[in-house]
Amino acid sequence: MGQTIQLTAKDGHKFAAYRADPAGRAKGGIVIIQEIFGFNKHMRELADRWAAKGYLAIGPHLFDRAERGVDIGYGEKDFAKGRETRGKLNDEMIINDVTAALDVAKSAGKVGIIGFCFGGYVTWLSATSIPGFACASGYYGGGIAAKKDLKPMCAVQLHFGDRDGAIPLKDVDAIKAAQPDVKVFVYDDAPHGFCTDDRPGSWQADACKRATSRSEALMAANVG
């Protein structure tokens, strides 16, 4: 089990983050970026899993900029709440908060970043805008195609499902064409959110297992 800590961004914004420490000496750090549902139970469990693999995991509560303590489920009202809250953030706010999380994670050594949904976009934005990450793994990030020409500063892999109703395959193809050095993986019969195991109708065990294995290999090769 991790704990909630407080971080301060360079613009003075104070916000919460979830910190999960490994049992022994850390291999390195990993910044965990939330979906649009806040840093909820699923994200805390994910951070705990990465800590169990030997990494210092830091999960910034990015929605604290708009409303503190957002932690919601997966119903229609939750979707609406998540979209509304995300809409109150801009890229500068996001970059400031992720940078603060990176600064804490650096205490463990090299740092990777992984994010899902909204967090997949944040992972791409971070890999292309924040110096200091050793690698990045983004899952079904909407909005990446619109920023496909940004230049990554670290090793990046991106994961998409072929049944993602929010991210058409033409967008994925556009990302591939613009970023030939980025590893882009598309998973068969996988919808949006295929790695969220407590989200009804989204979880796709085989796709998630393969994507997670690739993320683990990326972190092992670049972080420790």
Domain assignments of the chain as residue spans, ordered by start: 3-222
Would you say residue 162 has pLDDT above 80?
yes
Q: How confident is the model at residue 221, as a pLDDT?
A: 98
Mean pLDDT of the chain: 97
Structure token pair of residue 117:
């949904």
Residue 1 pLDDT > 90, yes or no? Answer: no
Is the pLDDT reported for residue 90 higher than 90?
Answer: yes
- pLDDT at position 79 is 87
pTM of the model: 0.97
pLDDT in tens, 179-208: 999 999 999 999 999 999 988 889 999 999
Average pLDDT over residues 129-152: 98
- CATH no., domain 3-222: 3.40.50.1820
pLDDT tens per residue across span 73-88: 999 999 899 999 999 9
What is the pLDDT confidence band of residue 169, given thresholds at 50, 70 and 90? Answer: very high
In 38-173, DSSP assigns E strands to: 55-60, 111-116, 135-139, 155-161
Q: Average of pLDDT values for 16-39?
A: 97
State mean pLDDT over 107-129.
Answer: 98
Classify residue 12 by burial, with Cβ atoms within 10 Å: 0-12, 13-18, 19+. exposed
**pLDDT confidence bin for 42, thresholds 50/70/90:** very high
CA distances from 22 to 27, 30, 47, 91, 187 (A): 9, 11, 10, 31, 30
pLDDT at 199: 86
User: By C-alpha distance, which of 100, 101, 143 is closest to 121?
Assistant: 143
